[in-house]
């Protein structure tokens, strides 16, 4: 891990020479937390939908010398064959990259009509017992094939999977990542999701820097944040804020999404060329962010590659089994 340094603020020297004031940095706003390895930030490439897209990400990240800690997929475990999952597990293991796959049925894809209304209904939540059970089935299947990180969009699914982990039905080192589409927007909800079993939490990309500081006053659970968000999450591009996002939000995963690109979930061969092109461009966007951090002397503090565990977190006590 490279030691963090005091970063150069964008444009500050030139602005000072013409007498334009720059707001002072408030040291009290900095997060006091780190990953267990001492790092303050890691990287993630999202929307890596299968072995072919993963191969593109691995090739392009090697060409551009972009360190990658985690890749995540959005279509779901159920959209991949056993062979495809095994290929992805093996490819990530060779590069010491964490693979995160989304768990099963979601409200946006089932027969419920509410998600197609202006209100959005219950969103990505798992509707009914069968959808919950499908998510459990996905989790067990993925874990049996060597997947150690699962993406979750429902608080009930999260709590259920955490209980399975606590009971030894999922490996103890399995981690759960909360989806950006159900991410918390205030400190209390962030702390609740941590207690339900989340090991890293996507927060909406429109949270202010002050919001990140407020969250860090109540929780040290790792945070995931799109530096560039897909259009369905707002399309925000916050590259120039990357250093301050790290300072306020650490421990933080910098996610390199892509705006101005049609959605690809659920992925299939009909979307192949678009998916591969956007996978390649996400890596390039990541390189742009890291180059910007380097120019400002803010690229220190990155976790060593291969780091994945979040360290001790707060949890609710699991309820006893029926009959106890």
pLDDT tens digits for range 91-111 = 999 999 999 999 988 767 777
- Where is average pLDDT lowest: 5-14, 76-85, 119-128, 160-169? 119-128
pLDDT tens digits for range 29-45 = 999 999 999 999 999 99
Structure tokens at 30: 């900095």
Distances (CA, A) of 278 to 55, 235, 259: 13, 14, 10
pLDDT tens digits for range 219-253 = 999 999 999 999 888 899 999 999 999 999 999 99
pLDDT tens digits for range 128-168 = 999 999 999 999 999 999 999 999 999 999 999 999 999 99
In this prediction, residues 266-287 reach a mean pLDDT of: 95
Q: Is residue 319 very low, low, confident or very high in pLDDT (cuts 50, 70, 90)?
A: low
Predicted model pTM: 0.91
Which domain does 219 fall in, by range? 32-295
Residue 114 lies in a domain: yes
CA neighbours closer than 13 Å in the CB half-sphere of residue 24 = 3
Domain with residue 103: its CATH number is 3.20.20.70
Residue 27 lies in a domain: no
Residue 42 lies in a domain: yes
Residues facing residue 49 across a β-bridge: none
Q: Structurally, how many domains does the chain consist of? A: 1
What's the pLDDT score for residue 5?
58
Residue 147 lies in a domain: yes
Residue with tokens 């709590």: 159
Residue 232 lies in a domain: yes
Structure tokens at 22: 């720059």
Residue 2 has pLDDT above 90, yes or no: no
If one compares 141 and 7, the residue with the highest pLDDT of the two is 141
Q: Is residue 295 very low, low, confident or very high in pLDDT (cuts 50, 70, 90)?
A: very high
Query: Is the peptide bond preceding residue 266 cis, with omega within 30 degrees of 0?
Result: yes
What angle do the packed helices 155-166 and 128-144 form, to 10 degrees? 50
Residue 144 lies in a domain: yes
Residue 307 lies in a domain: no
Residue 16 lies in a domain: no
Q: Is residue 322 very low, low, confident or very high in pLDDT (cuts 50, 70, 90)?
A: very low
């Amino acid at each position: 891990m490279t030691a963090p340094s005091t970063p150069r603020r964008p444009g500050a020297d030139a602005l000072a020479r013409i007498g334009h004031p720059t707001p002072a940095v408030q040291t009290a706003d900095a997060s006091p937390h780190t990953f267990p390895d001492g790092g303050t930030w890691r990287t993630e490439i999202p929307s890596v939908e299968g072995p072919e897209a993963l191969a593109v990400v691995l090739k392009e990240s090697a060409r551009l010398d972009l360190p990658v800690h985690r890749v995540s997929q959005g279509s779901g475990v159920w959209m991949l064959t056993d062979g495809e999952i095994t290929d992805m597990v093996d490819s990530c293991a060779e590069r010491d990259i964490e693979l995160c796959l989304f768990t099963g049925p979601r409200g946006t894809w089932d027969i419920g009509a509410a998600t197609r209304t202006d209100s959005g209904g219950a969103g990505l939540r798992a509707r009914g017992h069968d959808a919950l059970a499908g998510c459990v089935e996905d989790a067990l299947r993925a874990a049996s094939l060597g997947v150690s990180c699962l993406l979750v969009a429902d608080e009930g699914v999260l709590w259920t999977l955490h209980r399975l982990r606590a009971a030894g039905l999922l490996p103890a080192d399995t981690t759960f990542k909360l989806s950006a589409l159900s991410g918390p927007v205030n400190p209390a909800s962030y702390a609740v999701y941590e207690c339900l079993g989340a090991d890293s939490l996507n927060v909406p990309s429109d949270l202010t820097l002050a919001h990140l500081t407020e969250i860090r006053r109540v929780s040290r659970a790792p945070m995931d944040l799109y530096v560039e968000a897909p259009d369905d999450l707002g399309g925000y591009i916050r590259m120039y804020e990357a250093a301050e996002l790290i300072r306020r939000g650490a421990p933080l995963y910098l996610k390199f999404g892509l705006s101005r690109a049609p959605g690809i979930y659920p992925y299939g061969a009909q979307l192949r060329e678009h998916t591969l092109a956007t996978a390649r461009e996400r890596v390039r966007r990541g390189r742009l962010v890291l180059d910007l951090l380097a120019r400002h002397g803010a690229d220190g503090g990155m976790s060593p590659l291969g780091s994945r565990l979040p360290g001790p977190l707060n949890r609710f006590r699991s309820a006893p089994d029926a009959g106890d």
